[in-house]
Amino acid sequence: MLFNSWIFFAFALVVLPLYHALPLRWQNRMLLVASYVFYGTWDYRFLFLLLLTTSIDYFVACGMGRTDDPKKRKLLLGVTLVSNLSVLGFFKYFNFFSEQLEALLHTLGFNPQFFHLNVVLPVGISFFTLQTIGYVIDVYWKKIPAEQNFLDFALFISYFPQLVAGPIEQAGHLLPQIKKARPRVTFPDVASAAWLILLGYFKKSVVADNIAAAIDPMLAGPTPGGLSCLIISYLFTIQLYCDFAGYCDIARGVSKLMGINLMVNFNLPMIARNPVEYWNRWHISLSLWFRHYVYIPLGGNRGGVVKTLRNLMITFVLSGLWHGPKWSWITWGAYHGAWLCAYRLMFPNQKKQHHLHWALDLLCRTAWFNVIALGLMIIRTDTPTAFWNFIVSIFTRMSWKIEAAEPTFLLMVLGGSLFAIELWVRNRDNPWEAKGWNWGLGVVTVTLVILSLWFLPAPVGKPFIYFQF
């Protein structure tokens, strides 16, 4: 069930009024049923997988809560790590590792024929797996108590607004909101939710989907000229951001209508001026997860420069692998890990604020945007040869000719306008609360509504890119 589809609109029209008509105890039960219905529309068979994962981690965490024996707690932690990573590995990575081992043995002179699976990847499995692993680790570290109410825990794992593409919520943030009585939703809450949902639909249906329609044909044939390749990299960067951030905006808006606040997952990442700032702005929930549960347990920045750089590279290679079972994603992770290592060596004092002249600041932001855009073409071109041809074209075949120039120009204007709007209402879920902005926001809001209606999605909208992860 896609957010940008009419079936979800009908689903919300049933769930939201029913939710507000019930007391807390029944609200959570109804939300749990609604979340399983929402997930079951993708493939009802995977409901059993979701329930199995939830049950194992619930009982493991409860077992940890009943003992202080370090050996027993480590054993229980091992159970949840093995069970969750085995399920994730089976559905997402079995074929990839099987193919790599087969290729290695062929190189060594053997001729094995390994078994390959033909299974559908359960939607959202990477997201809810990390969320439930994070919960159990927090219980193991005694940062939070084990949740005793199975239904509340099941809702924490399956909460439908963020189930299939995040944000990856930490238990310490979402679980207390699930358990306590939610405040009554007021008109400012509705206005805030409506603004987020409108902005999310605009990002997805108007910007991201139309960019995809423009650049996909340009990449289907021979490698375009240098200027076209450069613009394609910019447009794909905007597309990926609008597609994923649009989903998160809608998720946060829908959740606000139920009095539950999801974390902010994007904070203007395209204007970051360095790799550290970028990863504090882009897919924030994933960055925090890998920082808390991978980078710091590896040693973080303790133990000297060499170990710090090693920990950064391991973390980002694993992050790339999390995104997809392809060498292009692993390479993309290593690419960003290398940039972070280089920045760490150049600026070892991360706590010191670097105040730059506005011209140098703009140069840094422009340069880093180009680093992001070229890096994303590693995953968009998908093969080393295609990526190499793409980069070579930028630096050796530069010309003023642009394939599909008219839609490209329009999409660049739309993307630039979106960034201007986001800068204007920065850090405001409900910009209507800001006095003195009403006339300008009125024009902006009406424009977004008109454009969103103009590009109204089909009854079944285009899937969000991050659903494949």
pLDDT digits (tens, 9 = 90+) for 377-407: 999 887 888 888 888 888 887 766 666 555 6
Nearest by Cα to 433 from 189, 264, 258: 189
Check pLDDT > 60 for residue 193: yes
Angle at 51 between CA 244 and CA 40, to 5 degrees: 55
Q: What is the mean pLDDT of the chain?
A: 84
Per mean pLDDT, which range of 56-70, 271-285, 316-330, 431-445 is the poorest?
Answer: 431-445
Mean pLDDT of 44-56: 91
Report the C-alpha gap between 5 and 460 in whole angstroms. Answer: 5
Give residue 426's pLDDT: 63
Active site residues: 323
pLDDT at 436: 47
What is the predicted pLDDT for the residue at 334? 95
Distance, in Å, from the CA atom of 126 to the CA atom of 91, rounded to the nearest integer, reads 10
Q: Is the pLDDT of residue 465 over 80?
A: no
Q: Is the Cβ–Cβ distance between 342 and 274 less than 8 Å?
A: no
Higher pLDDT pick, 438 / 356:
356
pLDDT surpassing 90 at residue 459: no
Q: How far apart are CA 214 and CA 212, in angstroms?
A: 5
Query: Which residues have C-beta within 8 Å of that of residue 141, sequence separation ≥ 6?
Result: none
What's residue 116's pLDDT? 72
pLDDT of residue 209: 85
Residue range 27-38, pLDDT digits in tens: 999 999 999 999
Q: Would you list the domain boundaries of the chain?
A: 6-179, 187-273+356-468
Structure tokens at 92: 């997402």
433 pLDDT above the threshold of 80: no
